[in-house]
């Protein structure tokens, strides 16, 4: 190759190599940030739990107040929305905050449970050990959530058929999309839950 041509080739080759190195470094930095963000998001979400037959002693009931879930439930696209909705719902009951509870349910549910009735029903109730097992989307703007939780209350405030201090509940909450927000609805699936003594 002619020396002048070789010199010309070297003159444009160096900038091309420099650009390639800068692009590769920038891509590596972007990838590192992306992986770090994903890792932080994964750490922020509570790990799914496995169904367990173990029980918490009565003295420690009703158990943890945070909403947890099985692997099946966490894989559903609505999971995070449902988790936040249920957390607010149970926090409102535990904190005796009717106004906050109303933000989690439909108007039909509010009509079924006016404030005086609600306060009498949940006067001594504390809920915990809340586990979402399954989320099923139904017809348009509806879904169902299968969950379990434990309530501890004065036996006088427990259901008439089971006047116990500690009750383990298996319920299906119907959900309705109300103007773009999911709410817990009234309906037959939530009206007759299964429950037994802890």
Q: What residue spans define the domains of the chain? A: 1-44, 58-197
**pLDDT computed for residue 187 by the predictor:** 75
Q: How, if at all, do strands 68-69 and 166-178 pair?
A: unpaired
- The first and second tokens of residue 66, run together, are 């945070």
Distances from the Cα of 140 to the Cα of 60, 136, 162, 175, angstroms:
41, 12, 36, 11
pLDDT at 3: 52
> How far is 153 from 144, CA to CA, in rounded Å?
26
Fold of 58-197: Nuclear Transport Factor 2; Chain: A, (3.10.450)
Query: CA 159, CA 168: separation in Å to the nearest integer?
Result: 12
Q: What is the pLDDT of residue 57?
A: 72
What pLDDT shows up at residue 59?
A: 73
pLDDT for the residue numbered 15:
52
Digit-by-digit pLDDT tens for the chain (198 residues) are: 555 555 555 555 555 454 454 444 444 454 455 445 444 444 445 555 554 445 677 778 899 999 999 999 999 999 999 999 999 999 999 999 999 999 999 999 999 999 999 999 999 999 999 999 999 998 888 999 999 999 999 999 999 999 999 999 999 999 999 999 999 998 765 555 789 999
So what's the pLDDT on residue 11?
A: 57
Residue 7 pLDDT: 55
Per-residue model confidence (pLDDT) at position 172: 95
């Amino acid at each position: 190759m002619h020396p002048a041509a070789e010199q010309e080739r070297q003159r444009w080759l160096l900038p091309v190599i420099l650009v390639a190195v800068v692009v590769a470094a920038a891509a590596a930095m972007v990838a590192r940030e992306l992986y770090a963000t994903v890792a932080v998001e994964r750490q922020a979400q509570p790990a799914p739990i496995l169904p367990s037959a173990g029980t918490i002693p009565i003295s420690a009931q009703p158990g943890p107040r945070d909403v947890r879930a099985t692997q099946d439930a966490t894989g559903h696209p609505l999971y995070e929305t449902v988790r936040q909705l249920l957390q607010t719902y149970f926090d409102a009951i535990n904190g005796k905050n009717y106004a906050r509870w109303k933000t989690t349910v439909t108007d039909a549910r509010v009509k079924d449970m006016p404030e005086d009735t609600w306060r009498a029903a949940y006067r001594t109730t504390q809920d915990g050990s809340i586990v979402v097992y399954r989320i099923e989307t139904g017809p348009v703007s509806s879904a169902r959530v299968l969950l379990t939780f434990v309530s501890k209350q004065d036996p006088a405030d427990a259901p008439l058929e089971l006047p116990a201090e500690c009750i383990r509940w298996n319920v299906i909450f119907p959900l309705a999309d109300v103007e773009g927000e999911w709410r817990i609805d009234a309906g037959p699936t939530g009206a007759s839950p299964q429950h037994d003594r802890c």
